[in-house]
Amino acid sequence: MTVCTPVLSDSRHDSLTLKQLQQAVSGWFIGGEIEGWSGRTLGDRRDWVRRLNAFLEARGMDFCADGLRSFVLALMKGTDGGGRKALSPASVKHAHVILNAFGNWCVREGYLTDNPVRRVAVPKQVAPDINPFTDDELVRLFAAAGRTRSKHRDMALLYFMDETGIRASELVALRVDDVRLSERQALIRCGKGGKARTITFGANTVQALFRYLREEPKEGADSLFSSSRGGPLTRFSLLQVCRRLGKAAGVEGVHPHRFRHDTAVRLLRNGGGVFSVMTLLGHSRVSTTQIYVKVADADLSKLQATASPIDNLLRSKRAKQ
């Protein structure tokens, strides 16, 4: 086994050659496995490091501020290689977060005295487009689910997604043993960032899950939701189910993450506290949850403008005079 030794001298060091980068990356991933990074986290970080390494190697650049700025710009333009498309600001920020974590690790381990990623700007973030379903759209989606050949699964699936705000990756990883119907709870063993949490749901979702599991009996270690072909539901097959139901219901833009948006906004409209919603959705920062607060507040203001009980009462009274 090759021992990776720090590359520092007594002088300030804020760059790595490609050889030094490979040594440091090896140590970073070994440390990550010891810390218990999830398989998805490991895979994601390996992909980004490989992408960066290929970019720097093709241009003869080091892991330094200039090389990283060139990489970020290439990601924004879709010119980093391999015919990839330009990335959104959010995706570029995701790459920046990963590389910054690596740079900080290099400083802690003595490979660098300064993290060059900290000197690299990221594109301005645009607030995500939050587009919850209308009541009518949800009713039509539920009706469409009740007409499919897999109606028990589809009804349970839609109820579960819209009530818990679960991420697609978390949903397809759920096992039967993770769900406790009597307690109206499910355990997310490995959420975003490898964090576990418990999610809750109501009586109607319990009934939908009970009917589904009665019609399709499963063992405790089996995936909670199965594909139409009998295997575990995947993120791709989940997206296909959503698109098919959206088409059948005449509702555009149906995808798993939209149910997550809908959950957040409806909970807030119905009086749910910001921190309770934050916990249910597994947000690590309250600022993420507050994005939904703005949508919910705007909807409530719009409702008051058109459906104010007093305004409508007096308007009706005046019309009769």
- 167 included as an active-site residue: yes
Measured distance CA(91)–CA(122) in Å, rounded? 10
Phi, psi of 179 (to 5 degrees): -105, 130
| Rounded-to-integer distance, Cα 289 and Cα 278, Å | 6
How far apart are alpha carbons 104 and 291 in whole angstroms? 29
- The reply to whether 255 belongs to the active site is no
Alpha-carbon span 54 to 35, nearest angstrom? 27
Options 111, 159, 212, 292, the catalytic residue: 292
**Residue tagged active-site, from 192, 197, 218, 255:** 192
| Residue pair 162/255 in contact by the 8 Å Cβ criterion | no
Residue with tokens 């030794």: 5
Which is the catalytic residue, given 152, 260, 261, 266?
260
The beta-strand segments (E) located in the chain are 179-180, 185-188, 197-200
Distance of CA 87 to the CA centre of its chain: 16
d(CA 39, CA 194): 9
Q: Based on the residue annotation, tell me whether 260 is a catalytic residue of this protein.
A: yes
Q: Is 77 a catalytic residue?
A: no
| Alpha-carbon gap, residue 120 to 100, rounded angstroms | 9
> What is the token pair recorded at 63?
């892991």
| Active-site residue, from 151, 255, 257, 269 | 257
212 belongs to the catalytic site: no
Q: Which of 13, 96, 140, 283 is catalytic?
A: 283
As a whole number of angstroms, the distance between CA 70 and CA 22 comes to: 19
Q: Please, are residues 159 and 246 in contact by the beta-carbon 8 Å criterion?
A: no
Element holding 288 (H helix, E strand): helix 286-307
Spot the catalytic one: 51, 167, 258, 261: 167
152 is catalytic: no
User: For residues 26 and 84, what is the distance between their CA atoms, to the nearest angstrom?
Assistant: 26
Write out the catalytic residue numbers. 167, 192, 257, 260, 283, 292
